Structure 1
Amino acid sequence: MLFQVGGQGTRPTFFEMAAAQQLPASLRAALTYSIGVFALRRPLLHRVLDYEDEFFALLMLVLESHSLRTTDASFAESLYGLRRRAVNIRAKKDDVGSNSDNATNHSGLEKRQKVLSVVFLVVLPYLKSKLHSMYNKEREARLQASLWGDESEGFDVSRSFVEEDSQVSTGTLDTNASIRIRVRKRLQKIVGFCYPWLHASSEGLSFAYQLLYLLDATGYYSLALHALGIHVCRATGQELMDTSSRISKIRSRERERLRGPQWLKTLQGALLSCTYTMLDYAQTGLIAAVFFFKMMEWWYQSAEERMSAPTVYPPPPPPPPPKVAKEGIPLPTDRTICPLCSQKRANPSVVTVSGFVFCYACIFKYTTQYKRCPITLMPATVDQIRRLFHDV
């Protein structure tokens, strides 16, 4: 999966880096959706959704640690055939003059850089997610207070501290509980006040680095890579071939470190083999799960739309004509003849209660006098007479 479209050398394109950065968010959305679907039949899985941040952080901790350990790349970067390389800048002096120029040399990642990479890839996104949820709760509380007419709630930290102190001091809770509530509410107020600025600063720096990377003004795609002194490069063919042998050596050393009786070594070896198998197929399995559940989402969404779409029924048949009363005026055989004057209709008009057509002058005079239809004897008034402008 080495996408070299528009790329030159070992430097990845902007689209490769953007795709690698957005993959964890897409993976989280797909896992959350799949667990939510399964939770409809297994309510026990709702507990996993209650701790969604912790569950996904633990999963990414395992995947990122294993990927950085074996391939010197994050989980998403290894999927796109990318590798992380430490940047060593050294100065070279010419033999003739005193001019010097800087040369950039790439080398493998140090253990410190791998640990810090896990921190930037897993720990900081987890903390950001928790801060975002706390901010949303504080925002909802502020909105609810404003809807109920309490305008004193807000993100004014200094004023909120005084208000919370007065409320807690007059309560009936014990000292420890009141301190915990006060600290928690103060923390929520601080997060509600500071998080928008932190989020805006983070997004602004991220946008600036991505724009500079797109314009070839820097080799760092993000602030985290710049702080760690790491460049992301395309893996060469030889590096991709050496990855499997490198993983085999690491696993062989881990098996040699097993200690204890033979049965314990066998059990530990079986557990290691299962773990290795899960890690080997984690990338393929998770990406396949993303596409599978996205396809299922599209399938069920299309089915729901078809089921919820309004059904277009054919128009109902017209009602049968009203019955002619025995004491009423008989209908003429010619449909263009007025039943009242037995002449060709002039200014044809219909009585809405029965639907029969007469001359306007004839039906107006008859209805005014008898208050009924002359054929069906159904009650009618002059307000129920309608002119027809197309004589059928």
Structure 2
Amino acid sequence: MAVQTGAFRGAGVVSATTEATLPSVFDIWAQQSLSDSIKPALNQVVNFTSLWYPKKCQNIKKYFDELYLGFSFILDGYYLRNYGGSFAENFYGIKRIDSKTNKPPVDKNRMKSMFFITIWPYLRAKLDKLHERLTAISDQQRTRFTTLFLKYYPYLKTVIGIATVIFQLAYVFNFAKTPAPFLWLAGCHLEKLTPADLMAFDTLPLHLQSGGPLTRLWRFIVSIPAVFGRLFTYGLFFVQFLEYFYASGTADQFSTTHQRGSPPKHPAKRLTEAEVLTLEVDKCPLCYRRRVNDTVLAVSGYVFCFSCIDGYVRREGLCPVTYLPATVNELVRLYKTT
């Protein structure tokens, strides 16, 4: 069997003489995204349905994890037994191959694959919920087991995450045939389905059949959870970024850097009421002198000296009396007729 180079494996390209093709890392990410999004999508359907039928959906919501485990065991077990891969893997044209026999996994190796496809995600979800619940318990109520679990479970998740990254990097650069640690523990690696595999299937899954309206509709429906799951992830990251941006004080720094200085107080507002009432109508509100070259600011209707209001509007961009935004285009010169 020909082996892909690291660059080609990342793109999923092989030569024409290659008998078996290893899937690209993008195919692997896509099938993993689909696999991870099916359960949240079904959970949302249950939550939505419970708004109309709360009593009927009560037990479904309570035992949703167990019901989904059974559903996944049946669905992925069927696809693994008949098509050599889980539903998500088969959807993207991928199959599992036993690394020792170079054939689809059977018996014990198939059970290993079923454990990591169905049971391990269920256990991890339960452990995550347990960790979240125990974290809220006070130190006085924690047992020795609780303390040890809270201390070491995050390390276990970190180790699994690091191992996953290492395996994927080794896969991309052609140092390994297995892109995930759980695949390695199951004794399998992934390959693309070949035309011979499709011919050998008793019945071809709808999403692998030749293009047609029904096939395209089915592929679109199945891909919706993965697409919306990805968009939700990006949106959540953006929200977290905004929370950090405003919580860290960075937003305040930007706002103070670009903030316009507070407009100066109108001179009449510093006068007493009697002085304001006695202010002559031909006086400029800015310089207190008799107006020269009367100019009205259209946004507020106040009249000023042309030199006073022109310089002020150019500098501040607003009316000195009402603080309404203004430009020099809104200055209207007044002329007296003799």
TM-score, normalising length: structure 1: 0.49
Measured against aligned partners, the alpha-carbon deviations of 1:293-338 in whole angstroms (never above 9, x if no partner) come to 978xx9xxxxxxxxxxxxxxxxxxxxxxxxxxxxxxxxxxxxxxxx
**Which residue of structure 2 lines up, in the alignment, with residue 191 of structure 1?**
149
- Among candidates 107, 110, 113, match of residue 114 of structure 1: 110
* Residue 79 of structure 2 is aligned to residue 67 of structure 1: yes
**Which residue of structure 1 lines up, in the alignment, with residue 49 of structure 2?**
38
The structure-2 alpha-carbon separation of the partners of 1:245 and 1:19, relative to structure 1 and needing over 3 Å to count, comes to closer
The structure-2 alpha-carbon separation of the partners of 1:109 and 1:290, relative to structure 1 and needing over 3 Å to count, comes to closer
Q: Which secondary structure state, in structure 1, belongs to the residue aligned with residue 99 of structure 2?
A: strand
**Which residue of structure 2 lines up, in the alignment, with residue 131 of structure 1?**
127
Q: Give the whole-Å Cα distance in 2 for the aligned partners of 1:121 and 1:346.
A: 85
Does structure 1 conserve the Cα–Cα contact (< 8 Å) formed by 2:83 and 2:90?
Answer: yes
- Among candidates 200, 203, 223, match of residue 181 of structure 2: 223
Q: Which has the larger Rg? A: 1
Provide structure 2 residue ranges, at least 5 long, that are not aligned to the other structure. 1-9, 206-213, 232-277, 287-299, 304-320, 323-330
| Aligned-partner residue type, residue 150 of structure 2 | G
Q: Which secondary structure state, in structure 2, belongs to the residue aligned with residue 126 of structure 1?
A: helix
Q: Single out whichever of 187-196 and 108-117 deviates more from structure 2.
A: 187-196
The structure-2 alpha-carbon separation of the partners of 1:122 and 1:33, relative to structure 1 and needing over 3 Å to count, comes to same
* Residue 64 of structure 2 is aligned to residue 52 of structure 1: yes
| Aligned-partner residue type, residue 345 of structure 1 | D
Identity among equivalent positions (%) equals: 21
Q: How does 1:265-280 map to 2 (within 5 A)?
A: none
**Which residue of structure 2 lines up, in the alignment, with residue 291 of structure 1?**
224
**Which residue of structure 1 lines up, in the alignment, with residue 29 of structure 2?**
18
Does structure 1 conserve the Cα–Cα contact (< 8 Å) formed by 2:12 and 2:22?
Answer: no
Q: 1:234 deviation in Å?
A: 0.9
| Aligned-partner residue type, residue 78 of structure 2 | H
Q: Which secondary structure state, in structure 1, belongs to the residue aligned with residue 115 of structure 2?
A: helix
Does structure 2 conserve the Cα–Cα contact (< 8 Å) formed by 1:14 and 1:214?
Answer: yes
* Residue 194 of structure 2 is aligned to residue 236 of structure 1: yes
| Aligned-partner residue type, residue 237 of structure 1 | P
Provide structure 1 residue ranges, at least 5 long, that are not aligned to the other structure. 89-104, 146-152, 154-162, 165-181, 248-280, 299-339, 350-354, 359-385
* Residue 13 of structure 2 is aligned to residue 7 of structure 1: yes
Q: 1:391 deviation in Å?
A: 9.2
Does structure 1 conserve the Cα–Cα contact (< 8 Å) formed by 2:34 and 2:226?
Answer: no
Q: Give the whole-Å Cα distance in 2 for the aligned partners of 1:121 and 1:106.
A: 20
Aligned residues: 226
Measured against aligned partners, the alpha-carbon deviations of 1:39-82 in whole angstroms (never above 9, x if no partner) come to 21121324323333222222111111111111111111111111
The structure-2 alpha-carbon separation of the partners of 1:391 and 1:217, relative to structure 1 and needing over 3 Å to count, comes to same
Q: Give the whole-Å Cα distance in 2 for the aligned partners of 1:192 and 1:242.
A: 49
The runs of at least 4 aligned residues of structure 1 exceeding 6 Å deviation read: 284-287, 292-295, 355-358, 389-392
Does structure 2 conserve the Cα–Cα contact (< 8 Å) formed by 1:85 and 1:107?
Answer: yes
Q: Which secondary structure state, in structure 2, belongs to the residue aligned with residue 130 of structure 1?
A: helix
TM-score, normalising length: structure 2: 0.56
**Which residue of structure 2 lines up, in the alignment, with residue 345 of structure 1?**
282
